[in-house]
Every structure is written in C-alpha cells, then in structure tokens.
C-alpha cells in the first residue's frame, strides 16, 4: 500500500506549504483538496452537478486562491452530497504509487483514516490572518473576521467537520519559520518510513 500523509488544519496554518514540501522531498504526489471545493464553488450553479462534472482542468482555473473562492469552498463543502461525490476522487488519488500527500480539512478523519502519518497543522488566529492578508494583499483585520467565520462554519458542519484525528500529530506553526515547520514534518515522515 502506498505511503499516505494526511494533513489537516484551518486556513493559513501552513498545511499547504508543508504538504507541497513533503511531496517534493519524498517524491510523492500532492493534492490540495481545498482546490476541489474551490473549483466547485467557482463553477457556480448546482454545486452537486458541478462536483460530478469536475475535471482536472477545473483545478487550474485562475482565482481559486482568492478569499472569495475560499468562502465559496467553505459553503459548498458543507453540502453532504458534494462531499460524497468528491470523496472517491480523493481516495483514488491517495492510493497512487509511490505515495501521496493530501491536505484539507477531513483527510485524516474521513478521506484517509488509515494514513501512515496524520498531521494537524494549527497557528494562532492573528498569525493566520496576517499570513493570508500578506498573501492576498488585503486588510489583516478583515481577513481575521473571514477566517474566524470560516473556521466556525467548517467546525460546525454536520458532515466531516474540521477536527484533528485522534492519532494526528499536532504541529503549531505560530512561532515557526517555513523551514522549521517543514523540518519538523520531514522528521515525522522519516520516523514513520523507518518503522
């Protein structure tokens, strides 16, 4: 069975950066599962139909990293039928050789509960807001309000709420540089690969 790394956590905690670095370091495939939901939200119309018709090219659409796309993603991700359609896509991706890194909100709890390594990446709200505001060139205070609203919606949804898997390793990136956070994650992967 291919080695699978499941990385979950709230927006702007650093999970995507860590996931990309791990995939590159170990030669694994990478899927930012949030892009699936962002693309469904950006397609508009009936979200369930959009999820069924989603193509890999849809994940390349411009604007999927915007704050608006993130809010749309959080809204369509709360629809159980949308989640059900996208679960199979994600599980097939995770089963590919030589291994895969998936990052999102429910990878360790729903998509890949048998992953060999589960990380739950967190950071303080103000730190996350400052990071995302710098990335998007927006106001940190407005971004803080958006992130908190999204966190509340993601944690409260009935289907696959945002939460750490019981066996996830929590990695707090608040006071870490990117290199330090990646180094800690690399050490955890190397430890699991050696057992």
- Residue 15 in this model has a pLDDT that exceeds 90: yes
**Which residues neighbour 166 within 8 Å (Cβ) at sequence distance 6 or greater?**
none
What are the residue boundaries of the structural domains of the chain, listed by start? 3-193
Rg value, the chain, Cα: 16
Q: Is 14 annotated as a binding residue?
A: yes
Residue 162: HSE in the Cβ half-sphere, 13 Å Cα cutoff: 23
- Whether 45 has a binding-site annotation, put simply, is no
Query: What is the rounded distance in angstroms from the CA atom of residue 77 to the CA atom of residue 75?
Result: 5
How far apart (Å, rounded) are the C-alpha atoms in residues 47 and 61?
Answer: 16
What pLDDT is recorded for position 186? 98
Does 100 show up as a binding residue in the annotation?
no
Residue 9 labelled as part of a binding site = yes
Query: pLDDT digit string (tens) for 100-116?
Result: 999 998 999 999 999 99
Residue 185 marked ligand-binding: no
Residue 108 labelled as part of a binding site: no
Pairing of strands 169-172, 3-8: unpaired
Residue 133 to residue 165: CA distance in whole angstroms: 28
Question: Picking from 10-14, 104-108, 111-115, 158-162, which range would have the lowest pLDDT averaged per residue?
Answer: 158-162
Name which of 32, 43, 30 is nearest 76 in CA terms.
43
The answer to the question of whether 34 is labelled as a binding residue is no
What is the rounded distance in angstroms from the CA atom of residue 175 to the CA atom of residue 4? 27
Domain 3-193 sits in CATH 3.40.50.300: yes
* Opening angle at CA 13, ends 10 and 16, nearest 5: 95
| Residues 179, 177: Cα–Cα separation, whole Å | 5
pLDDT in tens, 55-77: 878 988 899 988 788 888 888 98
pTM for the full predicted model:
0.88
Neighbours of 184 (CB within 10 A): 16
């Amino acid at each position: 069975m291919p080695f699978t790394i499941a990385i979950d956590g709230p927006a702007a905690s650093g999970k995507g950066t860590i996931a990309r670095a791990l995939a590159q370091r170990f030669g694994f495939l990478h899927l930012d599962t949030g892009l699936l939901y962002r693309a469904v939200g950006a397609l508009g119309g009936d979200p369930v139909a959009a999820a069924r018709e989603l193509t890999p090219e849809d994940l390349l659409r411009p604007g999927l990293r915007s704050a608006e796309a993130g809010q749309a993603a959080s809204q369509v991700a709360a629809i159980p039928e949308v989640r059900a359609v996208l679960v199979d896509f994600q599980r097939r991706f995770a089963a590919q050789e030589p291994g895969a890194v998936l990052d999102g909100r429910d990878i360790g709890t729903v998509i890949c509960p048998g992953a060999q390594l589960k990380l739950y990446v967190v950071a303080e709200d103000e730190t996350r807001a400052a990071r995302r505001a710098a990335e998007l060139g927006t106001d940190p205070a407005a971004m803080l309000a958006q992130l908190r609203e999204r966190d509340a919606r993601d944690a409260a949804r009935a289907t696959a709420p945002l939460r750490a898997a019981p066996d996830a390793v929590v990695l707090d990136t608040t006071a870490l540089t990117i290199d330090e956070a990646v180094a800690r994650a690399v050490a955890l992967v190397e430890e699991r690969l050696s057992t």
